[in-house]
Amino acid sequence: MEFAVESGLKTMGSGEGIRRNQALICAPLMADTVDQMVDLMHKAKSKGADIVEIRLDHLKIFNPRSDIEIMIKVCPLPTLFTYRPIWEGGQYAGDEKSRFEALQLAMELGADHIDIELKAAHEFNNFLHGNKPGKCKVIISSHNYASTPPIEDLGNLVARIQAAGADIIKFATTALDITDVARVFQITVHSQVPIIAMVMGERGLMSRILCPKFGGYLTFGSLEAGQVSAPGQPTIEELVNLYNFRLLEPDTKVFGIIGNPVSHSKSPKLYNEAFKSVGFNGVYLHLLVDDVPKFFRTYSSMDFTGFSVTIPHKEAALACCDEVDPVAKSIGAVNCVVRRPDGKLFGCNTDYVGAISSIEDGLLGLQNGSTGTGSPLARKLFVVIGAGGAGKALAYGAKEKGARVLIANRTYDRARELADLVGGQALSLAELDNFRPEKGMILANTTSIGMHPKVNETPISKEALANYMLVFDAVYTPKITRLLREAAESGAQIVTGVDMFIGQAYEQYERFTGLPAPKEQFKKIMEN
């Protein structure tokens, strides 16, 4: 199925404190006591929520008349009262009459919204006898904790919710795959009635962030990480400050990092801050993808404009591209995919550019900037540890610059294979400590050895480092790995994985936006 809500590019102002959409951020409040609930209301306001959802079913002691009155009176934000029964995923185990009475009371006492489940809506309507206080909006909701049904079923569900008298439609489904979200966007964007449509789980995150783009009434944002009322909820802080939720509009372009796992990626922070600072109308998301071809087939409109690609999808993404840059083709992996104005996907590999240019800069630093002609890598012996995606990129990049390449890998056969491809030598990793043919070599670790949490590991002994003039490590958590620390102590110039990360990000940013990358800002963000 193709999802096709399209729009053009547009620039906007700096966005500081600006709101470009009507979508609300609702903080679900879950507390044992009314006092705690009141504390949370104030916290929600200070964090930037627009409205609070008071989950009555979480209160351990609850006296409806006095408690609801107090909560409405003191709440600094508009309210939504929800009294979710166990049979719909909540905590309330009592009878329906008491539940309906509490919700009716909330309506009479001035609640701005109440939520009633579709399964109980008919009975609740009969209970009210048509006496609905005018101010209160009734949300009729449905929750599916197992899957996201086909589009026809979702359409029927929405029609039933509307027929039950909803002022606002709400449905939440579960994402088994990120492409499930496209069906929910299709329903949201065509709804005639205000609608809240969420897809639960990490694979559904996009549905929560892009709510303003597709015309959703509200999204839920938790007060703290992990304190969620449904799986996959971001925090208010993330919505506002990481994803620039207030700035999203129907024509906002969507970018993101495709990977699995992907939630640890710092790329959204980097790109979204940069987009905001230059007024670029885009948003960059974490995209937890299982099936890369299905992802590209589903999100095929011009709105889904550019993607970074990380482990384990770099090879699969290459196969989905209509055109691939020759170097990326040789490497056999893309880490950047851009949708061209004609809709075609173009793939390239900026890992190679980022790493090699950082290493060249490091060498230029050693040579006080003088290179003569050509790359400072020309004719140098360039030792790559690792033969995976990053290893291939570094080996090809170094070869292109005229270096003599040697691959050292734990699995010798893979080293041999890569060495044959780039026209270089191969060693097993175990042989590397005693490999000292000349001074002034360059070493590039492209394995995950030394990466957090195994920060005490290193791929080569300190003694062997004396023969290298420059040591690079692709690992960027921590920034200074044991390898780099020991290399610096041995007198080598060091280049970090953060330098590589920033370098590849500059290149991607320029390809995504057509604008020069804010280099100083990228460095500052990464330093923090």
- By CB under 6 A, name the binding residues for ligand NAP: 311, 351, 386-391, 409-411, 414, 429, 446-449, 451, 474-476, 497, 500-501, 504
Smallest gap, in angstroms, from Cβ of residue 278 to ligand NAP?
23
Which one, 14 or 411, has the nearer CB to ligand NAP? Answer: 411
Smallest gap, in angstroms, from Cβ of residue 194 to ligand NAP?
43
- Catalytic (active site) residue 213: no
Options 50, 67, 351, 499, the catalytic residue: 351
Cβ(3)–Cβ(184) under 8 Å? no
- Catalytic (active site) residue 143: yes
Which one, 28 or 386, has the nearer CB to ligand NAP? Answer: 386
Cβ(89)–Cβ(145) under 8 Å? yes
Options 143, 213, 313, 399, the catalytic residue: 143
SS3 state at 448: coil
Which one, 84 or 314, has the nearer CB to ligand NAP? Answer: 314
d(CA 240, CA 237): 5
H/E element holding 502? helix 497-513
Residue type, 83: Y
d(CA 143, CA 116): 11
- Catalytic (active site) residue 170: yes
Helix 34-47 × helix 64-74 angle, to 10° = 20
Options 113, 170, 253, 399, the catalytic residue: 170
Smallest gap, in angstroms, from Cβ of residue 518 to ligand NAP?
18
> Among 45, 41, 65, which residue's Cα sits nearest to residue 54?
41
Which one, 218 or 336, has the nearer CB to ligand NAP? Answer: 336
Options 314, 380, 392, 399, the catalytic residue: 314
Which one, 248 or 387, has the nearer CB to ligand NAP? Answer: 387
- Phi, psi values for residue 395, rounded to 5°: -65, -45
| CB contact burial 180-203 (16+ within 10 A = b; e otherwise) | bbbbbbbbbbebeebbbbbbbbeb
Smallest gap, in angstroms, from Cβ of residue 261 to ligand NAP?
12
Cβ(367)–Cβ(394) under 8 Å? no
Cβ(293)–Cβ(321) under 8 Å? no
Q: What residue number has its CB nearest to ligand NAP?
A: 388
> Among 193, 189, 225, which residue's Cα sits nearest to residue 7?
189
Smallest gap, in angstroms, from Cβ of residue 391 to ligand NAP?
5
Smallest gap, in angstroms, from Cβ of residue 450 to ligand NAP?
8
Which one, 239 or 407, has the nearer CB to ligand NAP? Answer: 407
Start-end of H helices in 88-192:
96-108, 118-128, 151-163, 180-190
Could you list the active site residues?
Answer: 143, 170, 314, 351
